[in-house]
Amino acid sequence: MTTIIDSFSFLSATLMAIMNSLPPLILREIFEHLSHDFPVGRCTLRSLLRINRDWRDIAIPVFWQRPFDRYPDCSIVNTLTLHLNEEERRLISLLLPPNLDFKISYARHLRELDFDTLCRSIDLWLVKTKHIWRRRLSCEEADGRVASFQSLLEVKQQIVYSFLKMFVRHGVRLRMLLCDFRGVGLTEDDFQLMFKPDVQTLASTICEVRIAGSTNMGKLFDGLTNTARDLVG
């Protein structure tokens, strides 16, 4: 199955017709299979979003269940910034073009959040876009309108916090949270953002938490426990 699906760009008209004739539930099963196949299946699933409207409508929820999965991806960060409202944009206004208006809620399909990959994706996005936001920052500073961020770390944490607020607003129901502290992406300070009062409802639907590499595991689980207690109480 994977061999056939991985060759969408070379499909014959006959095979395309067969694929188009499949019931939506069967197509979703195929797409679910691809979503767990690394790295080829994930790349193929992303390509499905551009094949046709019927496939895209089925593939979008599958892909966005776990958009951050193993590999940092700037394009996902780009898409998520388009979901931010005015208040959330204000936290990182120096990094975003004005007057964005994005109608489709991809974020609401999110079920599994790899926090480390999210942070590494933001780090990569900041590196690739620094020529844009630093230029904007310099211009606005020259006009005396804004103060600069202290560091890239502060910028990243502001973006993470904006995304978490946006997830709450879009009604995201997380089922799994993955936190790997062994790399350079996720810090315990980043993780603590999950416990802020205006975003802690994200924890209310989490069924599974996987944490690796933390030097203060007890503190992290205390944070999760206290958040759950606050939500129940």
pLDDT tens, residue by residue, 4-56: 444 444 455 676 677 778 888 888 888 887 777 666 666 777 777 776 777 88
Are residues 57 and 153 located together in one domain of the fold?
A: no
Reported confidence tier of residue 169, pLDDT bands at 50, 70, 90: very high
pLDDT tens, residue by residue, 47-81: 777 767 778 888 889 889 988 877 888 889 988 98
Q: Within a 10 A sphere around the Cβ of 210, how many other Cβ atoms?
A: 10
3-state helix, strand, coil in the chain (%, to 5): 65, 5, 30
Among the residue ranges 35-44, 134-143, 163-172, the one predicted with the least confidence is: 134-143
pLDDT tens, residue by residue, 183-218: 778 888 888 898 888 998 888 888 888 888 866 666
Domain closes at, from 45, 64, 83: 64
Question: What domain count does the chain have?
Answer: 2
Cβ neighbors of 40 (< 8 A, separation 6 or more) are 2, 6
pLDDT of residue 215: 60
Domain closes at, from 64, 92, 113: 64
Question: Exposed e or buried b for every residue in 29-42, given b needs 16+ CB within 10 A?
Answer: ebbeebbebeeebb
State how far the Cα of 175 lies from the Cα of 65, in Å rounded to an integer.
10
Helical ranges in 143-232 per DSSP H: 152-169, 188-192, 217-232
State how far the Cα of 141 lies from the Cα of 148, in Å rounded to an integer.
7
Parent domain of 206: 66-232
